[in-house]
Amino acid sequence: MDYIKPELLILIPFLVGVGKLIKSATDTDNKHIPTILGVIGVIFAPVYLIVFHVADNLAQALFSGVVQGVLVASVAVYGHQVFKSIITKEEELEE
């Protein structure tokens, strides 16, 4: 939790939702969804840091935002995969 800024944690469920929306509403191949979520995270995190003046200067906000965007997107994708894996294992055990 020390790696992701607490104010950006809200991006994780947001990105999971966006990923589910992309999967259900478009013909996008599943292998492209993590990349799309990464791009969205890399856009939203620096914008948040700039708008709410979290960083001391623009360069710091951009760099920190890109790193934070990649981290929150990674946690969103990884978390979804772990959840999906647990659900699949439970379904296999029930059969």
Residue span of the structural domain in which 61 resides: 26-94
Instruction: Please report the pLDDT score of residue 9 as a whole number.
Output: 92
Q: What is residue 43's predicted lDDT score, i.e. its pLDDT?
A: 95
pLDDT of amino acid 54: 76
Q: Structurally, how many domains does the chain consist of?
A: 1
Q: Establish if 3 belongs to a structural domain.
A: no
Q: Are 51 and 83 in contact (CB under 8 A)?
A: no
Instruction: Per-residue pLDDT tens, the chain, 95 aa: give them.
Output: 578 989 999 999 999 999 999 999 999 898 999 999 999 999 999 999 888 887 788 998 899 999 999 999 999 999 989 988 888 876 666 66
DSSP characters over the chain: --SS-GGGTTHHHHHHHHHHHHHHHS---GGGHHHHHHHHHHHHHHHHHHHTT-SSSHHHHHHHHHHHHHHHHHHHHHHHHHHHHHHHHHHHHH-
Contact 37, 12 (CB under 8 A): no
